[in-house]
């Protein structure tokens, strides 16, 4: 497209451009340093409407900022996946395109799975727990020191099939953080676990994977996903835009931080299917794009869900799939310890509450340690 002096002049004379420039002038005058930092992170993973002066700015969102970020991130994710599709089976590509997740039952051979389960359930790991409502989430670090003692687990996490599935769903060559994750429901009398509310993790594609080590019943807090809700439609873009414009101090905290909650009637208005609960047998793998709406299902009684869990997210505005600095040898096996140390530092130095409490070395099957705030 040829850019002429006339077009440039027309752009700056446009009413919307003038509104945006006036708002920028106001921010420069009021919080210049904050604006500079936030501008640097605008085309990255930043998502908070509460703490980001640009992302949460009602003037910019009235002009379509949030809508633009969602749409552009989705377009780039689709292009990156086109490069990654050749590394996984065509039926897995089809399943993901339709649903937003890849479900693989009996993922490992019986012998491999039994060995993996033995390694992960009979080893003590450095453990942290967080309490949300009546539910404890326990995460146990699978870092380089631990994995050297777990040959079956290490082989799985380094396998071509495992990495290719996660990369494709994550729309990039990602470097996941790996944990043994345990969900302990009804550990105390309290409000329900907030993770049982259907939500999108952020405004762009990201990936989580669950290899379930135990059977999960439908009434024991299964993973829940809305099939097809990873897809960007005009109705979804309109909903995203309306949600961004409606955020106030009274909006729930998770939505203010950029993880939008959704109601059942809103799903219907966007044309999505009913939520699917993953009541599955052990040795089932689910890899999901958590831009799609998902939740932790309700548990009707005290229950324990144990899984090998992976999580990864990358700058959604990158046009390439590789060149991931987190994959460097000095970093890729130390992500969880570095992340935990970072949270500890922020709590000690700046009094920022760290929800992940140290509980020492634990077995996955032990009762919850953290039962009160």
Query: Poorest-confidence range of 40-54, 290-304, 324-338?
Result: 324-338
pLDDT digits (tens, 9 = 90+) for 298-341: 999 999 999 999 999 999 999 999 999 999 888 888 999 999 99
What is the rounded average pLDDT of the residues 173-179?
96
Mean pLDDT of 186-210: 94
**Residue 205 — pLDDT band, cuts 50, 70, 90?**
very high
CA 183, CA 306: separation in Å to the nearest integer?
Answer: 7
47-52: average pLDDT: 97
- Coil, strand or helix at 210: strand
Domains along the chain? 64-362 (2.60.120.620)
Q: For 7-34, write each residue's pLDDT tens digit.
A: 666 766 778 889 999 999 999 999 999 9
Lowest-confidence region among 88-92, 132-136, 282-286, 325-329: 325-329
Dump pLDDT digits (tens) for 230-250: 999 999 999 999 999 999 999
How many whole angstroms separate alpha carbon 127 and alpha carbon 108? 26
For residue 3, name the pLDDT band (cuts at 50, 70, 90).
low
Contact (CB, 8 A) for 261 and 255: yes
Is the predicted pLDDT of residue 128 greater than 60, yes or no? yes
């Amino acid at each position: 497209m040829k850019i002429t002096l006339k077009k440039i002049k027309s752009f700056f004379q446009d009413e919307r451009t003038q509104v945006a420039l006036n708002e920028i002038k106001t921010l420069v005058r009021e919080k210049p340093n904050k604006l500079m930092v936030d501008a640097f992170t605008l085309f990255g993973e930043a998502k908070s409407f509460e703490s980001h002066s640009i992302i949460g700015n009602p003037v910019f969102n009235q002009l379509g900022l949030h809508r633009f970020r969602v749409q552009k991130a989705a377009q780039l994710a689709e292009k990156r996946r086109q490069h990654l599709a050749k590394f996984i089976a065509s039926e897995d590509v089809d399943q993901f395109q339709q649903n937003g997740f890849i479900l693989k039952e009996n993922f490992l051979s019986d012998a491999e799975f039994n060995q993996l389960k033995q390694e992960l359930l009979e080893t003590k790991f450095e453990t942290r727990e967080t309490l949300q409502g009546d539910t404890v989430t326990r995460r146990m670090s699978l870092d380089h020191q631990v994995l050297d003692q777990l040959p079956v687990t290490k082989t799985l996490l380094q396998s071509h099939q495992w990495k290719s599935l996660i990369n494709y769903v994550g729309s990039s060559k990602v470097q996941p953080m790996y944990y043994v994750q345990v969900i302990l429901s009804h550990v105390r009398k309290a409000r329900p676990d907030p993770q049982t509310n259907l939500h999108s993790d952020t405004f762009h594609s990201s990936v989580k994977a669950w290899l379930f080590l135990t059977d999960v019943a439908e009434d024991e807090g299964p993973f829940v996903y809305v099939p097809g809700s990873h897809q960007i439609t005009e109705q979804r873009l309109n909903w995203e835009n309306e949600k961004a414009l409606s955020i106030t101090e009274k909006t729930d905290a998770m939505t203010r931080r950029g993880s939008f909650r959704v109601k059942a009637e809103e799903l219907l208005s966007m044309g999505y299917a009913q939520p699917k609960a993953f009541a599955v047998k052990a040795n089932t793998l689910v890899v999901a794009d958590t831009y799609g709406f998902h939740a932790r299902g309700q548990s009707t009684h005290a229950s324990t869900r144990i899984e090998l869990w992976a999580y990864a997210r990358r700058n959604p505005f990158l046009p390439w799939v590789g060149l991931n600095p987190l994959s460097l040898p000095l970093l890729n096996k130390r992500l969880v310890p570095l992340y935990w140390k970072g949270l500890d530092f922020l709590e000690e130095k700046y009094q920022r509450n760290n929800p992940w409490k140290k509980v020492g070395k634990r077995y996955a099957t032990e009762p919850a340690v953290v039962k009160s705030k």
